[in-house]
Structures are given as structure tokens and as C-alpha cells.
Chains A and B, each alone.
Chain A
Amino acid sequence: MKKKILFSLKSPYREQLDVIGYKFGHGHKSIAIVGALRGNEIQQMYVCSRMIQELKKLESEGKILEECEILVIPCVNYYSMNLGKRFWTMDNTDINRMFPGYNLGETTQRIADGLFTKLQGYEYGIQLASFYQPGNFLPHVKIMDTGFTNAEIMKDFGLQFGIIRKPRPYDTTTLNYNWQIWETKAFSVYANATDNIDKKSADESVNAILRFMNNKGVINIKTSPGYITEIINESETQQIQSEAAGIFISLTEVGKIVERGTLIGKIINPFDGEVISEIRSSVSGIIYFEYHSPLINEKTVCFKIIK
């Protein structure tokens, strides 16, 4: 393993920001894995740290194949992580809305450029991604439908679901989108939590990434078989929104199979405790997203169900 500083940025009042990469093996740029681009992506950093532990072991056992190089970047925006902020400390911009970056541009454009320069040329790219709303996900893998990556490759992760997302205009400046445009087959792995550590989902994500590496001939190990991945379009998933605002109480959890009409949550008046809305599943399927903040506004996605 080689630990290298990939990009540095001086700060007027803090120690220099050093984006650190951990390289394993050498030769063909096989896989790059990126963790926290945002300051609250603790789980994403944790999954990368676990990958580094696994890869160190595999390297010492000679199980990384010849001519395969793996790069893991656990955390880019630790400046914000140390302050408890999601976006860039000073101007609140999102590094994951600055790709491919610009080396003469604004600070986060320069960070994105410095990072992206080092991420180009890899055959596969994996980003540990998070969702902007507070909630729990069933671990799954997602691709942006740019036409450059074959969705079937998602099956090599052996996660229960592979989801295809049609990019919206604001997606065109994300790492995942730009990776694909620059000919890296890019995937986002959602490891349930964001600002807390969910060990079980982290285990599942680590196993899925190892399984993917094994299937792609980058490492040579025995992995658990995983799921036969079901590939679906994001537009086919059923979103269930709150019809009222108040205190949100979930009566289910991610991974549960529900029938149409099942009571899966309720919203109570925050002052007098009266139930003001019952949330029922509008379809039969499996819960793959569950909102988890105690307070909820009207028209907030509280569950997503794969039919």
C-alpha cells in the first residue's frame, strides 16, 4: 500500500487540506473508490476505511492480481467534517456539484479538478454516495443513465437492487456523471446511513465492492454469493410522501416487504399527540428508503418502495 497526497489546498487559518489516496497493486488503473465528498458522509468514509483494511490484507496475501491498481480516497472534505458542516466551510458550495472542476476557478472547482485529474483513466469508479434527506436506505448500487455504462454490470456487486437514474440538469456536475463522460464505468453505492455509522450496512457494502472486484478479475478471493441483483429504473419505484406535517413515526424498516394498504407510518400533532395522518403503502413491495428524522414537513418523501 502506498499512501499519497493527491491534492493540497492551503488555508489561511487551518492546517493545509491534504486529500489522501491509498494505492494498492500497480499497473492498469482498475478501480478507484471515493468516499466522503461532503462533511457529513461519515458512513461513506467508514466504508472506505474498511476497504483499506481489507485491501491491505489482500495485498499482503498476494491476492491482488498482477497489473491491477486500486485507489481508495476515504475523505475529500474533512475540513467540513471537522466543523460539522455538509458543504464547503467558507462558501457552502458542494464539491459534488463542481465536476469536472477547473484548475483556475473557484476553490471547490479547484478541489474537484485536483481530485478528478487523479481519478481519470480508471476502468471502474465507485462512489460511496449519500442522499440529501435524512433517512435509511437498503444498500443498493446506482448508475446514471448516460449511455456510457452498461447497467447489467451492476449485477457484479451482488446487492439486492441496481437502480438506473435518468440524469437531471443538476446531475451533470457530479463526480459520477463526469466519470462516465470521461469513460470510467461509474457506480454509486448507497450504504444506508450518512452521518452515523451503520456497521451491518457497511459490512454489506464492503462485501459488495469486494465481490465486484473479484468478478472483474482485480482480486482473487472467495466471496459470499450475494443477491441476484434486480435492475430497475428509478422512475419505477414508488415514492410515498407525507400528507401532513408533524412528528413522524415509522412503523416499518428498510428491507421489509409490505402489502398494498399496510400501515407503515403515522404523523402525530406535535402539540397534542393526535394522529393526523396515517401513511399506508400504495403498492406491494420492499421498503428501500425510510425517512428517519423525528419532524416531518408536508410532501416529504417518507418511504420509497420497490414494487
Chain B
Amino acid sequence: MIETIATASLAVNENLNIQKRRIKNGNNKTRLSIVTGTHGDELEGQYLAYMLGKYIDEHIELFDGILDIYPALNPMGIDSITRGIPIFDLDMNRVFPGTKDGTMIEVICSSIIDDLSGSDVCIDIHASNIFLKEIPQIRMSVPTADTLLPYAKMLNVDFVWVHESATVLESTLAHTLNKIGTKTLVVEMGVGMRITKEYCQQLFDGILNLMKSLKMWKGETNSIREPIISIDHEVGFVNSDAAGIFIPFSKFGDIVKKGDHIGDVVDPLTSKIVEKIKAVCDGMIFTLREYPVVYGGSLLARILEPVKGGDTE
């Protein structure tokens, strides 16, 4: 069943509609919500929404519960390859929880929260932006970790990043839902404006595994990987200090040592290397820059340090 959960009239002969599809079978009332498309330049979740809905349709007899799929919270953003909401230049993930009597976007955000609240688990799927590629990972704030970690471990991601909470992040979808008791996990994977099929497959396997543990799925599941959890690790940030073109030498997922030469920033006009990029710590590269043009400050890589006194897992 396809349902419009929020709508607003646009200026010229068109409505902005936020839609979801509900797949329901059996007697189990457990509800899993898959939500994506908050940032219009993040498309990994589009393919996952497609493949998950298709697979459940084809094996409906093995499904027992309620699966709600919200593929596009920001349809105008996806339509125009815009990260935020195009007309307002606003990041939708800074407007939650919205208000019922607010502006158009605030009202829409409020309706989204109303519709998602009460889900037993919600998975909010993001890709990275167009600049960075991310290993499949789940991010959560320290106060939510006790509740969310058991679910994160089921989702077949490589890495769970538990970070300090920041006031500015209180306006996100996930923070809002977790605050009202709807367990919400934020997935980051891949790169903006592209679909990475193997990552979608990886998370798909994880979602089936989660559904099995929620007794929503009676079919087979593939074995899943144990994620590295950042609580015992430090994350090293590699930022460019120079401006130019970033040429990486290391690959995504490489294990590096502190001081390893992992790339150069070069100047195409003078043909000079303007900065040699070194690893800031030992560990695994789990974020790597995809977009070559850089300014001082551009993030080039993130490195997950090994457990103190141990090896990188």
C-alpha cells in the first residue's frame, strides 16, 4: 500500500508529496521502518529501498510483520541533485522535529516524525556526500549507544562509530526519534550521487538478519560480519592544508602506519607537489576523498586506530 504521509502545494500546479510504502503480512505487529533520501545527493538508499521491497514482495510468505519504506523524504532535492531542500537552501536534517503550525518544511518534518514514531526500529540510510566515500557504518551518539548497539551489531556493517553528542545534531531525524523512544540507527555508506551495489547488498543482508531477530523474517539469512566499534578506538582525521588536486596512493580499507605517504596534493598549473599527505596514525582508512579538488581544510581521509596495544581488526 502506498500512502502520502505529508503534502504541500507548490507555487505552480504541483504538490510536494512525501510517500511511503507499507508491506504487511501475518499477525506480527512488529514494525520496521526504512527511511532515506533526506539529502538529495545521497542515492545509496534508493537502490536498497528497491531491492528490499522487491525481495519481500517475492517472498511474502516468509515475512511476518510491518515494513514501511520511505524512499524520499526530500523528493525535490533528489530531483534536482541538491543536498538540502532546493527552494530554501536548508538542510532538512536540521529542521526536525518541525512543528505542526510552522512553515511548509517544518510541517512536513513534523508529519514525518508523527508517521515514523511507534516503529519498533527505524533505519535512516545516508550515503556520504559527493566528496567522500565511506565504508558501511552506523553512527550513534554516546547517550543512545546502550540501546542501539545491539541492533547495530545485527546490520552487517563494518564499523559502528559512537560519537560525542553535539547540540546542533539535536535537530536531526534520528535524534528526534530516539528522544521519543523510537529506536533509530543512522547508516552511512558509499558516496554521494552514486550507487554502490555491494554495499547495498551488504546492508540488505543485515536488514534481513535484523528482521529475523525481530521475528519478522522466516527465510534464510546470510552470515553477517562483526563490526569494529569505535568506543575502544580513536579516529584520526587527515585534512589537506594546501589547495590543489588530491591524488590518493592508498585505497579504501587499507591498513596504514602513522607517517605512511597516502597521497599528494598537486598543482596542475606548476606541476609541483604542494603537499605530501601522511597518515596521522596507524589504522584502517575507512573514509577516503573521492572528489579531487581540495582547499585547505578539505577532509581527505579518516583512519580508525587499532585498539591500544593490539592490532587493527
A172–B167 Cα distance when bound, in Å, is: 7
Contact call B295/A299, Cβ cutoff below 8 A: no
Within 8 A of B (CB), among A7-48: 9-13
Chain A residues near B102 (CB-CB < 8 A): 299
Count B interface residues, CB 8 Å: 39
Cβ of B235 to closest chain A Cβ, rounded Å: 13
In the complex, B168 has a CB within 8 A of chain A: yes
Chain B residues near A86 (CB-CB < 8 A): 89
A105–B87 Cα distance when bound, in Å, is: 29
Per-position 1/0 for A221-258, Cβ under 8 A of B: 00000000000000000000100111100000000000
Query: Within the complex, which residue of B10, B12, B171, B296 is in contact with A168, where a contact is CB–CB below 8 Å?
Result: B171
Count A interface residues, CB 8 Å: 39
Chain A residues near B55 (CB-CB < 8 A): none
Contact call A244/B9, Cβ cutoff below 8 A: yes
Query: Within the complex, which residue of A87, A107, A299 is in contact with B296, where a contact is CB–CB below 8 Å?
Result: A107
Contact call B11/A110, Cβ cutoff below 8 A: no
Cβ of B179 to closest chain A Cβ, rounded Å: 12
Contact call B297/A105, Cβ cutoff below 8 A: yes
Cβ of B112 to closest chain A Cβ, rounded Å: 15
Per-position 1/0 for A54-89, Cβ under 8 A of B: 000000000000000000000000000000001100
Contact call B103/A299, Cβ cutoff below 8 A: yes
Known A245-B10, A297-B8, A297-B87; judge A90-B168 contact (CB<8 A): no
Per-position 1/0 for B241-259, Cβ under 8 A of A: 0111100000000000000
In the complex, B13 has a CB within 8 A of chain A: yes
Contact call B171/A169, Cβ cutoff below 8 A: yes
Contact call B104/A172, Cβ cutoff below 8 A: no
Contact call B88/A109, Cβ cutoff below 8 A: no
Beta-carbon nearest neighbor of B131 in chain A:
A91
Chain A residues near B244 (CB-CB < 8 A): 12
Chain B residues near A92 (CB-CB < 8 A): 83-84, 89
Known A12-B293, A107-B298, A299-B107; judge A170-B168 contact (CB<8 A): yes
Contact call B297/A270, Cβ cutoff below 8 A: no
Contact call A170/B9, Cβ cutoff below 8 A: no
Chain A residues near B295 (CB-CB < 8 A): 9-12, 90, 107
In the complex, B239 has a CB within 8 A of chain A: yes
Q: Give 5 nearest A-B pairs by CB, closest first.
A: A245-B9, A107-B297, A295-B11, A298-B9, A169-B170
Known A90-B293, A91-B129; judge A170-B94 contact (CB<8 A): yes
Chain B residues near A172 (CB-CB < 8 A): 167-168
Cβ of A210 to closest chain B Cβ, rounded Å: 33
A169–B93 Cα distance when bound, in Å, is: 12
Apart from the given pairs A132-B88, A169-B168, A299-B107, 19 other A-B contacts in the complex at a CB distance below 8 Å: A9-B295, A9-B296, A12-B243, A12-B293, A90-B293, A90-B295, A91-B131, A104-B237, A106-B297, A169-B171, A170-B168, A173-B168, A241-B103, A245-B8, A245-B11, A247-B11, A297-B8, A297-B9, A299-B8
Contact call B12/A270, Cβ cutoff below 8 A: yes
Within 8 A of A (CB), among B67-95: 83-84, 87-90, 94
Contact call A132/B90, Cβ cutoff below 8 A: yes
Cβ of A116 to closest chain B Cβ, rounded Å: 15
In the complex, B290 has a CB within 8 A of chain A: no
Beta-carbon nearest neighbor of A92 in chain B:
B83
In the complex, B294 has a CB within 8 A of chain A: yes
Beta-carbon nearest neighbor of B87 in chain A:
A297
Contact call B239/A104, Cβ cutoff below 8 A: yes
Contact call A297/B11, Cβ cutoff below 8 A: yes
Chain A residues near B234 (CB-CB < 8 A): none
Query: Within the complex, which residue of A97, A106, A270 is in contact with B239, where a contact is CB–CB below 8 Å?
Result: A106
Beta-carbon nearest neighbor of A85 in chain B:
B89
Contact call B267/A110, Cβ cutoff below 8 A: no
Cβ of A15 to closest chain B Cβ, rounded Å: 11
In the complex, A133 has a CB within 8 A of chain B: yes
In the complex, B195 has a CB within 8 A of chain A: no
Most buried by B among A12, A169, A172: A12
Interchain residue pairs with CB less than 8 A apart (18) = A10-B295, A11-B243, A11-B295, A12-B244, A107-B297, A108-B297, A110-B296, A110-B297, A132-B90, A170-B171, A245-B8, A270-B11, A295-B11, A295-B12, A297-B87, A298-B10, A300-B104, A301-B103
Chain B residues near A105 (CB-CB < 8 A): 239, 297
Cβ of B2 to closest chain A Cβ, rounded Å: 22
A270–B83 Cα distance when bound, in Å, is: 28
Per-position 1/0 for B140-170, Cβ under 8 A of A: 0000000000000000000000000001111
In the complex, A144 has a CB within 8 A of chain B: no
Cβ of B240 to closest chain A Cβ, rounded Å: 9
A245–B242 Cα distance when bound, in Å, is: 47
Contact call B297/A246, Cβ cutoff below 8 A: no
In the complex, B5 has a CB within 8 A of chain A: no
Chain A residues near B23 (CB-CB < 8 A): none
Cβ of B63 to closest chain A Cβ, rounded Å: 37
In the complex, A138 has a CB within 8 A of chain B: no
Cβ of B168 to closest chain A Cβ, rounded Å: 5
Known A91-B129, A105-B297, A107-B298; judge A10-B243 contact (CB<8 A): yes
Cβ of A174 to closest chain B Cβ, rounded Å: 10
Contact call A10/B296, Cβ cutoff below 8 A: yes
Cβ of B241 to closest chain A Cβ, rounded Å: 9
In the complex, A163 has a CB within 8 A of chain B: no
A90–B83 Cα distance when bound, in Å, is: 13
